[in-house]
Structure 1
Amino acid sequence: LDNKLAIVSGAAFDSYENQHKDECLPGTRTDILNQIKEWATSPYREGIFWLYGIAGTGKSTISRTIAKSFSERRSLGASFFFERGEGDRGNARKLFPTIARQLAITIPSLMPILHQAVYENPDIATKGLREQFDKLLLQPLQRLNRSNISLQTVVIVIDALDECEGDGDIQLILQLLPQIQQAATIRLQVILTSRPDLPRLEFSRMKNDHYKDFILHDIPLEVIEHDISLFFAHQLAEIRIIHGLSTEWPGERDLQRLVALSVPLFIFAATICRIFKERDWDPIDSLSEVLTHQDDRTRLAGTYLPVLDRLLNRQNKSRKEQLVSQFHQVVGAIVMLESPLSTDALSKLLGISRRLIYLRLSPLQSVLRVPDNDITPIRLFHLSFREFLLDPDTRTKTPLGISETEMHNMLARKCLLVCRKLKENICQLPSYGNQRVEVDCQTINDHLPPELQYACRYWAHHLVQCAGLTSIAHEAHLFFQAHFLHWVEAMSLLGYALEIPGILDLIRTAIGGNGSSPISQFFHDAKRFILKNQHIVDQAPLQVYRAGLLFSPQTAIIRTVFADEHFHWISQSPIVNKIWGAELQALEGHSDSVLSVTFSPDGHLLASGSEDRTIHLWDPPTGSIIQTLEGHSDSVNSLSFSPDGHLLASGSNDKTLRIWNPATGQELHVLEGHSDSVLSVTFSLDGHLLASGSRDRTINLWDPATGSIIQTLEGHSDSVNSLSFSPDGHLLASGSNDKTLRIWNLATGEELHILEGHSDSVSSVTFSPDCHLLASGSEDRTVRLWDTTTGVLKQILDSYSSSFNTIVFSPDGRVIATGSVDWVVRLWDLVTGTLQKTIDGHMTMGFVLSAASESVAFSPDGQLLASCSANETIRLWDPMAGESTEILSGDDPQPPVQFMKFSPDGLSLASGSFESSAVCLWNTATGALTHTLDGHSRSVNSVIFSPDSRLLASCSADGTVRLWGLPIGTVQQTLNSRYGSVHSAAFSPDGRLLASCTDNGRACVWDLARSTLYQTFNCHSDSVHSAAFSSDGRLLAVGTDDGRVCICDLATATLYQTVDGHSDWVNSLAFSPDSRLLASWSMDETVCLWALDAGGLSEIWTFEITDDTSEFSQDGLYLHAGLSSLDVEMSFTTSVNRDISIEDEQWIILDGERILWLPVEFRPNRFKINGDRLALGHASGKVSFLQFCI
């Protein structure tokens, strides 16, 4: 569970990392501690206690004390102590998994529920904060049975929230935490501490009854003086014992001076006492130095400068220079690290001895927590020491001050040097298909030690903050040319794959320039490579070398740099594009057709609605799912963000609208009022109205704040498919199946214009940003532009080939993007009225765009275009990409591949579709389409090669079989059955006869030499679907539509046996090489093996299988059926894996192991295997070939 949850082990108050940190002394902080305890134990109190104060006021000490107190009472549910620079304690990535795991220990009945949540969401550790909170905390807590809980109140302590990386994450955490109160089975109270700055805004948005706040630095000074006096009394007593001082030291006067200097900063008092405790220094001298330094310096400088001055005293010039250099190298690195390292890891990162590190740190134990072992990280006692060292003013007072840019430069170079240890398959995984979640943490830590983990994750963080990037950017370029894939693999293993796009963006931005330099081009290509492969890189790290390279464009820089050394496992690669096109990323996550996409107003979220009844919220830069919204009971047709981004509305076939808080995922309102499916929803530009269009022919205007109907607009005579508010907020446009558009006056509800002109349903309407134009897209294959004032038609854009589902204006109003049912997205230039560009991404996938009116959306800045499709994906595009996105007019999409056949010599493959009258012939060695065989007048049902591969027979619904001469592809014969559609055919072993299977229940045997009908066998069924000649040529087996197998004797022209073996039609038949066995496959998803002897057929076994063909191995020992090879001599329960197979349509399996993941556009509709070659037939009509080095 811990591995899948990816918890932070050192985040709890009582963790090993926190064991030496202070707690409140008895008699101190009594008022605030009592207030917290009273708040936590009193019923009906606020759910959150926010304790905030300026740095150094003792917030974390109070947190540890209160956490310990509740722990001793067995009512502490969880604690998480943020700490900047402490790796995963410095960000929120693992906050909720860690809290959930701790809660499950406190509440044992929660553990099985949490196990189930992780089982149902195995990749939950990689999801966004919203989804983690919902799936790991809120839902499990709501499922708790009250009778299984002994505790009434459970406290969660979250300390130093301000030290969490990312302002957006802090705000989101504060938005989510109040929802914990929805767990009605148990009372959960959250104690939260922070500095006051950032969280204050989010708390101001909370309801007052959600939280109670306490300002730590506003406690009366006399109370703080009392507590600090007690602290000094306790600490100074220990110091007198350590150093053998008299009880008179330090004297009442100096003690009061120390107290006065400390108020209100407890950190000041704690640091002074640590200085006095150092055994190598006289506390009497230290006290004098501290008090002396306060005269002309800030309190921080007065505290830390004496510590630094001591290092330099009594050193000659050369020794002093050496010490300064070593201090900068060791201490400078420690204060600049993004995550603390142990002495051992630090020495390996910096390339210096552990002895030198100990030597430099030994005098600094009052400001640094220096462990007495090599494996525990070195930590700062307080961030104020880091802030002091990095303050430019400090460098004017001591040469030991640290330059940030110089330290970043050093650390960036050291990190790159350490990263050169990376190599392919660094963890020695047994298979290139191994999932990341299958690799245990110990294996990763054994092969990626702490210094290498740090270098992988943070080298770029240091690099972009260097002064003068030219030199080090060149080093990074050289490193990537050798180790880019190794680095991606390591980042994936460490669970940081989603950070890679952001890292590459950081580097590209820092490098700057016009993008034409080799360095800039490399990092641009690397970003495209990662976006394309983000999904699989995060799941299966080693696929970066396989799928990542194999399916990248031919001229992609990453492919050209690395392909030669990584393609040894494959002898034939599929044909791929030459260059990167407009597609940036394919987003996978829905389990059914995606109907709607829309960006949030700030562009930080992409929402998608699907037939799977869910709404996904995506992070556009990484393509990761942030949250899944569930609530609708039918397809989600339409989505709309409010102008401020605080609300998301959805419309569904369940006849409801729902309003969500996209920040928390909370369902705010369920709006009921329509009597049929809601097809369109949209917010007005001021956010005060929500409009919905329905299949019930009406438009409802709602108040989104209350969920009540304000007005119903009636006038359309059919379904209302699309709505759009004018930017000025005065008008509403609607498009309907009644072929009209209507423009409504929102103030009066009056119908201003009925726009007629379309000859079919109006699918989509939208106003231009300047409100001058209204665009409408229709199933009549046109886009029409109307004057919004007069209702006059201004312009018509005609696709000629396909109806339009959706239209959107670009943010600047100069371009219209249209989505249509021919699988493509078109960009139109409104200045010229011409088609500017056609993006064919969904065409290559062979799936139509969503039929809904919102299948295409621009991001607010116009830099991204999103489109959704019936193949369960969303695609992100660069609308400004160049020629790679353009396709020739007339390059129409092809129907999907639904059957394929290899020639016996393996040199050719024929493919076809039940939706086409043509057959495609492919060269298997080159993967090229050599011929398109046209001639049939109706669809082709199947193809078969002659035994010598010189003929191809195509069987058609037009009642003919055409024989094509190869390799030229000309028609040699046309055999007309006169019995209706021909389903399939079979050649005799010598190629002289051809059996055809027809719709009227007859099998026709043709003499090919004479082009005459030789024999006809009536199987007494409605239809015959399959046939096969025995290997000796004496028998013909025929499969019928009612599941029977018929055996025909060719010598006597008699039908001598019929057996019932299946419950549905028999699609495929095959004889063994010795003609003693017959295998039949049926649409009932079974394959039967029959013994054939003088007495006829007898069943041996039946095996459940889903493939549509079966064939015997050359030795007759195995029956190849589907993805398995069945041993004909053994029980049907025994099967062995074939050398090559396909799993879940996504993975190619070789000898039982996953070797290659298939991206969406290469996933097969059908596949065929011929020895070591695999043919993938795609929904786009194309066929890809791969040959493996078996």
Structure 2
Amino acid sequence: LDNKLAIVSGAAFDSYENQHKDECLPGTRTDILNQIKEWAASPYREGIFWLYGIAGTGKSTISRTIAKSFSEVRSLGASFFFERGEGDRGNAKKLFPTIARQLAITNPLLVPILHQAVSQQRDYGIAAKGLREQFDKLLLQPLQKLHRSNISLQTMVIVIDALDECEGDGDIQLILQLLPQLQKAATMRLQVLLTSRPDLPRLHDIPLEVIEHDISLFFSHRLAEIRIMHRLSTEWPGERDLQRLVALSVPLFIFAATICRMFEERDWDPVDSLSEVLTHQDDRTRLAGTYLPVLDRLLRRQNKNQKEQLVSQFHQVIGAIVILESPLSIDALSKLLGISQRLIHLRLSPLQSVLRVPDNDTTPIRLFHLSFREFLLDPSTRMKTPLGISKTEMHNMLTRKCLLVCQKLKENICQLPSYGSQRVEVDCQTINDHLPPEMQYACRYWAHHLVQCAGLTNIVHEAHSLLQTHFLHWIEAMSLLGHTLEISGILDLLRTAIGGNGSSLISQFFHDAKRFILKTQHIVDQAPLQVYRAGLLFSPQTAIIRSVFTEERSRWISQSPVVEEIWGAELQTLEGHSDSVLSVTFSPDGHLLASGSKDRTIHLWNPATGAIIQTLEGHSGSVHSLSFSPGGHLLASGSNDKTLRIWDLATGEELHVLEGHSGSVLSVTFSPDGHLLASGSEDRTVRLWDTTTGVSKQIFDSYSSSVNSVVFSPDGQVLATGSADWIVHLWDLVTGRLQKTIDGHMTLGFVLSAASESVAFSPDGQLLASCSANETVRLWDPMAGGITEIINGDDPESPVRFMTFSPDGLSLASGSFDSPAVCLWNTATGALTHTLDGHSRPVTSVTFSPDSRLLASCSSDGTARLWGLPIGTVQQTLNSQYGSVHSAAFSYDGRLLASCTDNGRVCVWDLARGTLYQTYDCHSDSVHSAAFSSDGRLLAVSTDDGRVCVYDLATAALYQTVDGHSDWVNSLAFSPDSRLLASWSMDETVCLWALDADGLSEIWTFEITDDTSEFSQDGLYFHAGLSSLDVEMSFTTSVNRDISIEDGQWIRLDGERILWLPVEFRPSRFKINGNRLALGHASGKVSFFQFCK
């Protein structure tokens, strides 16, 4: 569960990372601690206690103290301590998963509910979802699913510290909107303690005399310990100096704590240190007064050369520590910076009053307080001490160090067993062993440092040089680390930052890299090594990434499918719905994309990353139409459950359920001012609704058919509606009267068939979204392929329904049940060589002669045609006069052809003479397939009642009838040695029959759902549907896979997943020929693959 939840291990108050942090000294902060305890104990108080204060006023110390107090009485539900510079503790990405996991520890009944919630995530995992989605799926819904009878009503406190250190003001605001909803949990009373920097009940507004008392008590306690430690006089430091220290500290507890840690250091005389502190009491800022004494004493008694060396080393070591986005250990920092651990220890040793230096080299170094970083990076600090840090210089250094570490990346760095290995199957230890902390840091943050460098030109060239070798390796590493969705944003940062600092070649590289990751991030996040397979193979022919890394592609595949020449309009394919997508629309600011589906859900997507931010559930039927309010705060949805729903996007709550229609709601739209909502329905009416109250205000019912589209004029005065009878109605909303009707005006964009695909532009016109029935939403770049006009042309190409390789493997024939033409393809080039026209009705099947010189096509026009190859001319037309011809089969010597008809007869033709040789009556309504044995002795035919009839060709007598299926048999195949016969049936089983002197006997039956079945040329494998059965092993009932298709999405080779298929390459049919694979697609195209042996 922890791996699937993606929690932050160091965020809790009692984590290893927080174990040495201070708690309130007994007798201090008693007033505020008592207030918090009283608030938590009262069932009538607000659900959130918000504690504010400026940096250093002790908020985190209070949080740790109160969290420990509640934990001791088992009232602590969870705690999360934000801290900038601590990796995932510096953002909200894993806040709710971490809280959910801690709540599950205190309430074990939540575990199965949470496990179910995370197991239902089909794409990037719960951590990639938006905060609303995480909150709903991991906290609100699980808590609501708990039965009150299973758990006693109790008060649990959630402590969230330093919310202001969470990156992203939008995330902070959303967290504040979501947390109050925890009050809806009926099984427990959840209270939230928040701390952050100012406003509201400000901690630094607590009476100064209270703060002064607590700080004085703190000093008295700590200085007594210091006197003993250093064997000082009991009079030290004296009442006067003590009061000066208190006055200097108020209201900053961080000052008092830092000074005491400074006095505790054994290498320094606390008497001298006290004198240094008091000399800085006139500094303008409290931070200078806190930290300058610590820094000044480093430079004491140093000659010029020593001072220069110390300053340089301080900048290198301490500068890196305060700039790092995530803390590193001494060991990792040493490897990142390329310096010795001894040097790092030397520079850290005198700074233990401001840095938390662990007693080992593998635990991260941490700041005691973020204010030390702020002080060092403040430009004014450099005027007070040479130890001040230049932010840009440090970013320059760290960028180069990170790029140097990234040069160690390589393909399959974690030595995964297969290129289809799933990321979730790779344990953390394996990742950490092969991607050590300094490499993890470099991969994730090199670009963050780069964009903050001064003088980008040179360093951009260095980054470009690295990526030309290691771009795919970097993507692999980021995927293994669970950061795939960050790559797109990183590339955007780089493209923006380089501006005029990079050559056109560099700009083109980053543009191509962005298109590459958008295309591949869905699968790369699941199977990291597919970046080298699917990523390269399905990129356009002229794509920069494909050409740069062509060697990686050539190692495992000798023939690739034909792909687009250049990047097209499609930016990415969004997969997440479990059924057809019926509607898509962008929010007014373009930051959200909403999609409605037959699966009854609405997905809100981030168009930049392709991640699902939130899923809205509530409709009991398909969601046909969606509309954002003008301000983007509300979303309206229409469904075939006859209702409309208005959703609050800030909380994901359903505000109104609008009932009144008696048929499916096919279209919804907000008025320009957002006060009205219009809906068109299958019930032949249009309704206007008040969006505030949800009340129906007006009904328009002058329609003779379904209303498929509604749209307001820009001024909101007119409503235009389009209906299925192609009539447009224009309504005057001021008078409520019909203004005009336009009959058959098919050029209006809003007259849409309810069955047509839905498209929508983003407000800035840079993206186009389309949805279709293959369960996907696609984003398009209209600049690269935008629609300029609508033309009513011919029907789209028919989908491939059947296909077959020629025995020599050089050609492939394909056809469709709704087309009279046969397509002939060159398997070496993937090119369409001939379209064979001649049948008057759709073609039902095709088959090649054993010598590949003839092609037989069967049709519902009652004929079978023989085409001479390679020219593609008709040589014979065989008319059975028995109705539609379902299929045909050549004898192994190519002299005979058997054709199967729908009146229960099989015709055997002598091809040399062009005459009917034999006719067999199978006493069935229809015969579906036939197969000759390779020795020419037998003919097997299948019937629609599940029988297989075997005839002796020499005598024309029935040899044997076998029953093994409960439905009609669609396909038959003899093994090359005539020892085995395979039959595939619509009952979704394949039977394997052994042929010997005693006749046919069944030896193997297994389930299969595809109608493709054939023996391999060497007879060792039988390919059925998505599987390959090892014939020799079939007698011991074991399966060995050769080439197969898994779930229509993966190609397997020798039992291993080797290639993921994007949506446009997923097959409707496939054929295997040796190590060559052909995929037929719904578009009518065929793709060819040949794998290296």
> Which TM bucket (shorter chain)?
over 0.9
Q: What is the letter of the counterpart of residue 629 of structure 1?
A: L
Residues 590-739 of structure 1 mapped to structure 2, 5 A cutoff:
590-739=577-726
Aligned to 1:100: 100
Aligned to 2:445: 458
Residues matched between the structures, number: 1091
The Cα of 1:1122 is off from its aligned counterpart by 2.4
Q: Distance between the aligned counterparts of 1:501 and 1:776, measured in 2?
A: 34
Q: Distance between the aligned counterparts of 1:946 and 1:755, measured in 2?
A: 59
1:354 aligns with 2:344: no
Q: What is the letter of the counterpart of residue 1120 of structure 1?
A: H
The Cα of 1:603 is off from its aligned counterpart by 1.3
Aligned to 1:933: 836
Q: Distance between the aligned counterparts of 2:487 and 2:22, measured in 1?
A: 38
Contact 1:1123 1:1138 in 2 (8 A): no
- The alignment's TM-score, normalised by the length of structure 2, stands at 0.97
1:1173 is matched with which residue: 1076, 1079, 1088? 1076
Q: Distance between the aligned counterparts of 2:1050 and 2:744, measured in 1?
A: 50
Aligned to 1:963: 866
1:1142 aligns with 2:1045: yes
Instruction: Look up the SS of the partner of 1:512 in the other structure.
Output: helix
- The alignment's TM-score, normalised by the length of structure 1, stands at 0.89
1:1064 is matched with which residue: 939, 954, 967? 967
Q: Do the aligned partners of residues 1163 and 1133 (structure 1) sit closer, same or farther apart at CA in structure 2, a change above 3 Å counting? A: farther
Instruction: Look up the SS of the partner of 1:214 in the other structure.
Output: coil
Aligned to 1:447: 434
Contact 1:3 1:440 in 2 (8 A): no
Q: Distance between the aligned counterparts of 2:529 and 2:230, measured in 1?
A: 59
The Cα of 1:1059 is off from its aligned counterpart by 3.9
Q: What is the letter of the counterpart of residue 13 of structure 1?
A: F
Q: Distance between the aligned counterparts of 1:1074 and 1:707, measured in 2?
A: 74
Q: Distance between the aligned counterparts of 2:652 and 2:781, measured in 1?
A: 29
Q: Distance between the aligned counterparts of 1:271 and 1:1103, measured in 2?
A: 74
Contact 2:456 2:501 in 1 (8 A): no
Residues 868-883 of structure 1 mapped to structure 2, 5 A cutoff:
868-881=771-784
Residues 1020-1099 of structure 1 mapped to structure 2, 5 A cutoff:
1020-1055=923-958, 1057-1092=960-995, 1096-1099=999-1002
Residues 498-517 of structure 1 mapped to structure 2, 5 A cutoff:
498-513=485-500, 517=504
Q: Do the aligned partners of residues 934 and 190 (structure 1) sit closer, same or farther apart at CA in structure 2, a change above 3 Å counting? A: same
2:380 is matched with which residue: 369, 393, 396? 393
Structure 1 residues 265-298: Cα deviation after superposition (integer angstroms, max 9, x where no partner):
2112222222222222222222222222122432
Q: Do the aligned partners of residues 471 and 638 (structure 1) sit closer, same or farther apart at CA in structure 2, a change above 3 Å counting? A: same
Q: What is the letter of the counterpart of residue 1134 of structure 1?
A: T
The Cα of 1:350 is off from its aligned counterpart by 0.6
The Cα of 1:1179 is off from its aligned counterpart by 0.7
1:1109 aligns with 2:1012: yes
Residues 719-798 of structure 1 mapped to structure 2, 5 A cutoff:
719-758=706-745, 775-778=748-751
Structure 1 residues 821-864: Cα deviation after superposition (integer angstroms, max 9, x where no partner):
xxxxxxxxxxxxxxxxxxxxxxxxxxxxx8357x1111111111
Structure 1 residues 993-1031: Cα deviation after superposition (integer angstroms, max 9, x where no partner):
111111211111111111112221122222111111122
Residues 378-417 of structure 1 mapped to structure 2, 5 A cutoff:
378-417=365-404
Aligned to 1:13: 13
Please, which moves more after superposition, 514-523 or 896-905?
Answer: 514-523
Contact 2:710 2:750 in 1 (8 A): no
- Give the percent of matched residue pairs that are identical in Structure 1 and Structure 2: 85
Residues 575-590 of structure 1 mapped to structure 2, 5 A cutoff:
575-590=562-577
1:293 is matched with which residue: 275, 280, 284? 280
Q: Distance between the aligned counterparts of 1:1101 and 1:352, measured in 2?
A: 67
Q: What is the letter of the counterpart of residue 355 of structure 1?
A: R
Q: Distance between the aligned counterparts of 1:907 and 1:701, measured in 2?
A: 63
Q: Do the aligned partners of residues 485 and 117 (structure 1) sit closer, same or farther apart at CA in structure 2, a change above 3 Å counting? A: same
Contact 1:498 1:622 in 2 (8 A): yes
Contact 1:952 1:966 in 2 (8 A): yes
Aligned to 1:89: 89
Structure 1 residues 853-893: Cα deviation after superposition (integer angstroms, max 9, x where no partner):
7x111111111111111111111111112699999997973
Q: What is the letter of the counterpart of residue 984 of structure 1?
A: S
1:186 aligns with 2:188: yes
Aligned to 1:173: 175
Q: Do the aligned partners of residues 508 and 1114 (structure 1) sit closer, same or farther apart at CA in structure 2, a change above 3 Å counting? A: closer
1:343 is matched with which residue: 304, 324, 330? 330
1:44 aligns with 2:44: yes
1:998 aligns with 2:901: yes
Q: Do the aligned partners of residues 509 and 1126 (structure 1) sit closer, same or farther apart at CA in structure 2, a change above 3 Å counting? A: closer
The Cα of 1:1056 is off from its aligned counterpart by 5.2
The Cα of 1:1054 is off from its aligned counterpart by 3.6
Question: Alpha carbon RMSD of aligned pairs, Å?
Answer: 2.1
Q: Distance between the aligned counterparts of 1:562 and 1:234, measured in 2?
A: 65
Contact 2:152 2:187 in 1 (8 A): no
Instruction: Look up the SS of the partner of 1:510 in the other structure.
Output: helix
Q: What is the letter of the counterpart of residue 290 of structure 2?
A: T
The Cα of 1:326 is off from its aligned counterpart by 0.7
Instruction: Look up the SS of the partner of 2:686 in the other structure.
Output: strand
The Cα of 1:163 is off from its aligned counterpart by 0.5
Instruction: Look up the SS of the partner of 1:881 in the other structure.
Output: helix
Q: Do the aligned partners of residues 325 and 102 (structure 1) sit closer, same or farther apart at CA in structure 2, a change above 3 Å counting? A: same
Aligned to 1:369: 356
Q: Do the aligned partners of residues 52 and 223 (structure 1) sit closer, same or farther apart at CA in structure 2, a change above 3 Å counting? A: same
1:954 aligns with 2:857: yes
1:134 is matched with which residue: 133, 136, 155? 136
Aligned to 1:538: 525
Residues 264-279 of structure 1 mapped to structure 2, 5 A cutoff:
264-279=251-266
Aligned to 1:164: 166
Provide structure 2 residue ranges, at least 5 long, that are not aligned to the other structure. Answer: none
Instruction: Look up the SS of the partner of 2:539 in the other structure.
Output: coil
Instruction: Look up the SS of the partner of 2:11 in the other structure.
Output: coil
Q: What is the letter of the counterpart of residue 439 of structure 2?
A: L
Q: Distance between the aligned counterparts of 1:399 and 1:851, measured in 2?
A: 72
Q: Do the aligned partners of residues 231 and 1146 (structure 1) sit closer, same or farther apart at CA in structure 2, a change above 3 Å counting? A: same
Q: Distance between the aligned counterparts of 2:994 and 2:291, measured in 1?
A: 93
Q: Distance between the aligned counterparts of 1:528 and 1:160, measured in 2?
A: 37
Instruction: Look up the SS of the partner of 1:331 in the other structure.
Output: helix
Please, which moves more after superposition, 267-276 or 592-601?
Answer: 267-276
Q: Distance between the aligned counterparts of 1:628 and 1:489, measured in 2?
A: 29
Instruction: Look up the SS of the partner of 2:421 in the other structure.
Output: coil
Aligned to 1:2: 2
Aligned to 1:905: 808
Contact 2:1033 2:1039 in 1 (8 A): no
Q: Distance between the aligned counterparts of 1:358 and 1:83, measured in 2?
A: 24
Contact 2:1030 2:1040 in 1 (8 A): no
The Cα of 1:1049 is off from its aligned counterpart by 2.8
Structure 1 residues 91-122: Cα deviation after superposition (integer angstroms, max 9, x where no partner):
11211111111111111222222223233337
Instruction: Look up the SS of the partner of 1:39 in the other structure.
Output: helix
Instruction: Look up the SS of the partner of 2:704 in the other structure.
Output: coil
Contact 1:681 1:691 in 2 (8 A): yes
1:860 aligns with 2:862: no
Aligned to 1:420: 407
The Cα of 1:985 is off from its aligned counterpart by 0.4
Contact 2:1016 2:1073 in 1 (8 A): no
Q: Distance between the aligned counterparts of 1:1117 and 1:1171, measured in 2?
A: 11
Contact 1:1125 1:1135 in 2 (8 A): no
The Cα of 1:517 is off from its aligned counterpart by 1.1
Q: Do the aligned partners of residues 883 and 645 (structure 1) sit closer, same or farther apart at CA in structure 2, a change above 3 Å counting? A: closer
Instruction: Look up the SS of the partner of 2:784 in the other structure.
Output: coil
Q: Do the aligned partners of residues 437 and 1071 (structure 1) sit closer, same or farther apart at CA in structure 2, a change above 3 Å counting? A: same
Provide structure 1 residue ranges, at least 5 long, that are not aligned to the other structure. Answer: 198-212, 766-774, 779-803, 806-849
1:1188 aligns with 2:1057: no
Contact 2:460 2:501 in 1 (8 A): no
1:851 aligns with 2:851: no
Q: Distance between the aligned counterparts of 1:518 and 1:883, measured in 2?
A: 26
Aligned to 2:797: 894
1:522 is matched with which residue: 489, 500, 509? 509
Aligned to 2:317: 330
Aligned to 1:60: 60
Contact 1:637 1:852 in 2 (8 A): no
Q: Distance between the aligned counterparts of 1:376 and 1:1101, measured in 2?
A: 59
